[in-house]
Amino acid sequence: MLAIARTEGFDVLTLSFRYGQRHAGEIDAAARVAVAAGVREHTVIDIDLRSFGGSALTADIAVPKGRAPATGEIPITYVPARNTIFLAYALALAEVRGAADIYLGVNAVDYSGYPDCRPEYLAAFERLARLATKAAVEGRPVRLHAPLLRLTKAQIVRRGLELGVDYGLTRSCYDPDPAGRACGRCDSCRFRLAAFAELGLSDPAPYVPLGR
């Protein structure tokens, strides 16, 4: 998503969130990816969703393994109102820095299960954003971009490769080992591995050895 925003001509500010995830690997990876892309500013926001509980990604609930993809059921890894909180912070940063465009990396596979990844949700947020800020009232409305929304994971990987993304820097696993290696079995790993496999490629990110 960052590579697409850069290609579309934007000078990008990136925003990561520590929201009580089980692991900090994705935070470190996001910073590496931001630096590699030459962004103007990378901000990490601490948000304490852990005190609320209610998700396998933030509470002491096991991350499910080997689940069939895209069942239509909302997964237990859903984090309550997460994208709403993320987008609210992005809106605040955009207004303060004078930015009018917010990019969000949600995609088709996610929106099959998560309510806050659906197109109608994103349209409602954009509408809210156009009423919420001083900038919008003064004639600089926010545009929300979700360029990955309708792409399959394989299409996303291919687009990234075309734009020179080093997927060895990126992390997707919900439950990596202490060395930061992906588990290969959670939903996120399964979707990612299937995408690389569909393209006849291997994923350059580190995985725990098979059979563990």
For a copy of itself, the closer of residues 125 and 196 by Cβ is 125
Give the containing element (helix H, strand E) for 144: strand 143-145
For residue 91, give the amino acid letter.
L
Alpha helices in the chain (DSSP H): 2-7, 25-37, 82-97, 108-111, 119-132, 134-137, 153-162, 187-198
Neighbours of 187 (CB within 10 A): 23
Least Cβ distance, residue 67 to a copy of itself (angstroms): 16
By the 8 A CB rule, do 11 and 21 touch? no
By the 8 A CB rule, do 48 and 69 touch? no
**Half-sphere exposure in the Cβ direction for 158 (13 Å, CA):** 11
Least Cβ distance, residue 120 to a copy of itself (angstroms): 6
120 binds a copy of itself (CB under 8 A): yes
Among 5, 30, 39, 82, binds a copy of itself (CB under 8 A): 82
**From 47-55, 146-154, 167-175, 185-193, span contacting a copy of itself (CB under 8 A):** 47-55
Among 31, 36, 88, 199, binds a copy of itself (CB under 8 A): 88
For a copy of itself, the closer of residues 150 and 212 by Cβ is 150
DSSP character at residue 182: B
80 binds a copy of itself (CB under 8 A): yes
45 binds a copy of itself (CB under 8 A): yes
Selection from 175, 95, 97 nearest residue 135 by Cα: 95
133 binds a copy of itself (CB under 8 A): yes
Binding site for a copy of itself (CB under 8 A): 43, 45-49, 51-54, 74, 78, 80-85, 87-89, 91-93, 95-96, 115-116, 118, 120-121, 124-125, 127-129, 131-134, 136-138
